[in-house]
């Protein structure tokens, strides 16, 4: 699961560049199963004058991936910031360091550091008051670290920002609500889905992370209702979803098991991780088999769906991976992408594989 992240958003991935990456993977005895992801320019999300050109480039890239035999493409439609955390080294009681989203700290940054116009009106007064106290108690280094964590551009995002540039980009979205942004997504899907169908590609939209508005911006892939609207707008087997259990699970009113069950037939990719939510909207990344989602039940749904597809002649499995992981052992202190340390993800993969093996065991129902 990889992508050509060195190519700027909005530029076409040439057949030669795709082939070179594929050859590197195959030379190591592996297979490129999922493109994760084709970067989505803000022009497409905004639906501005540059959108047609950006959509054409995205479509050409999709076709070139199809010609190279890549059959699953993950993408997201989050405006300005991709997945967002306030703390990248949150101490866990006994399992290393985790990623955390602290709602009070985020509101403090938005209202009292970035000073986004009208930001205070987006949050309950008690939360704004708590955020003001939090920021007042922080020193310059603490505020700089918080700002870097929020706007640095975590893996998968389109860009890294400074305070001025992120404020300017947020301002470009002024007046664009959920309905307008959803219409821009549908415009994209109507253009690219026929290409996906032609090459047998499965498009897998990733949910918002976290699945609620940041900086007052629209978020349109956060709930089951959002997914129903997206799938109904372009009703094609190629138009599907990435089941990210951690993203959906970061919102307490999302029933992750119900989402997995309802949309099982359109799950084209799965990110398996777990979070623990707190009453004020904060959450932290828990162990893969801990947190608020019954991971065993999720994996059972995925395996049953694979069996259903196999019975119908579809032999392509649902690709999945352990998403994120705790910073453990001697990975602490190394330079790693936040959430993507080796040992923590390997631990998650081992746990997931153990669950799969147990669920597939022939004596399970004996």
- Going from N- to C-terminal start, the domains of the chain cover 15-82+176-360, 101-172
Residue count of the chain:
366
In the annotation, is 255 catalytic? Answer: no
In the annotation, is 60 catalytic? Answer: no
**pLDDT tens, the chain, 366 aa long:** 999 999 999 999 999 999 999 999 999 999 999 999 899 999 999 999 999 999 999 999 999 999 999 999 999 999 998 889 999 999 998 779 999 999 999 999 999 999 999 999 999 999 999 999 999 999 999 999 999 999 875 555 555 688 898 999 999 999 999 999 999 999 999 999 999 999 999 999 999 999 999 999 999 999 999 999 999 999 999 999 999 999 999 999 999 999 999 999 999 999 999 999 999 999 999 999 999 999 999 999 999 999 999 999 998 999 999 999 999 999 998 998 889 999 999 999 999 999 999 999 887 755
Give the other-Cβ count within 10 Å of 92's Cβ: 17
Integer Cα distance of 196 and 58 in angstroms: 12
Q: Are 220 and 81 within 8 A, CB to CB?
A: no
Nearest 10 degrees: CA dihedral of 116, 121, 127, 128? 50
Tell me the CATH number for domain 15-82+176-360. Answer: 3.20.20.150
C-alpha separations of 72 from 15, 203, 232, 243, 332 in Å: 17, 6, 20, 13, 33
In the annotation, is 323 catalytic? Answer: yes
Q: Which of 123, 323, 326, 331 is catalytic?
A: 323
In the annotation, is 268 catalytic? Answer: no
Integer Cα distance of 27 and 22 in angstroms: 9
Q: Which two tokens stand for residue 78?
A: 């989050």
Q: Which of 35, 206, 209, 226 is catalytic?
A: 206
Integer Cα distance of 124 and 129 in angstroms: 9
In the annotation, is 90 catalytic? Answer: no
pTM of the full predicted structure? 0.94
Integer Cα distance of 84 and 359 in angstroms: 33
In the annotation, is 340 catalytic? Answer: yes
Q: Which of 35, 74, 244, 277 is catalytic?
A: 244
Beta-bridge mates of residue 56: none
């Amino acid at each position: 699961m990889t992508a050509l992240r060195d190519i700027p958003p909005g530029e076409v991935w040439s057949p030669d560049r795709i082939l070179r990456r594929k050859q590197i993977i195959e030379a190591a005895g592996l297979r490129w199963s999922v493109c994760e992801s084709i970067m989505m320019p803000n022009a497409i999300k905004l639906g501005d004058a540059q959108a047609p050109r950006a959509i054409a480039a995205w479509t050409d890239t999709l076709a070139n991936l199809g010609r190279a035999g890549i059959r699953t493409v993950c993408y997201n439609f989050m405006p300005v910031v991709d997945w967002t955390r306030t703390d990248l080294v949150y101490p866990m009681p006994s399992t290393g360091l985790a990623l955390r989203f602290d709602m009070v700290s985020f509101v403090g940054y938005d209202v009292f550091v970035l000073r986004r116009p009208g930001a205070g009106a987006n949050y309950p007064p008690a939360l704004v008051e708590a955020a003001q106290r939090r920021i007042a108690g922080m020193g310059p280094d603490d505020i700089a670290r918080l700002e870097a964590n929020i706007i640095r551009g975590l893996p998968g995002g389109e860009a890294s920002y400074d305070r001025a540039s992120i404020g300017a980009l947020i301002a470009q979205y002024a007046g664009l609500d959920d309905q307008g942004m959803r219409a821009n997504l549908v415009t994209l899907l109507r253009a690219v889905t026929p290409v996906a169908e032609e090459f047998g590609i499965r498009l897998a939209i990733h949910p918002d992370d976290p699945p609620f508005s940041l900086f007052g911006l629209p978020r349109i892939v956060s709930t089951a209702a959002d997914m129903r609207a997206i799938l109904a707008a372009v009703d094609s087997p190629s138009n599907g979803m990435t089941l990210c259990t951690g993203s959906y699970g970061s919102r307490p009113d999302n029933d992750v098991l119900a989402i997995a069950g309802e949309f099982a037939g359109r799950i084209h990719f799965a990110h398996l991780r777990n979070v623990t939510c707190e009453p004020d909207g904060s959450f932290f990344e828990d162990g893969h088999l801990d947190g608020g989602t019954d991971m065993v039940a999720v994996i059972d749904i995925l395996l049953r769906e694979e069996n259903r597809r196999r019975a119908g002649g579809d032999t392509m499995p649902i690709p999945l991976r352990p998403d994120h992981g705790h910073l453990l052992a001697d990975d602490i202190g190394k330079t790693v992408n936040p959430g993507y340390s080796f040992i923590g993800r390997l631990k998650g993969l081992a746990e997931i594989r153990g669950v799969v093996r147990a669920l597939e065991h022939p004596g399970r129902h004996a």
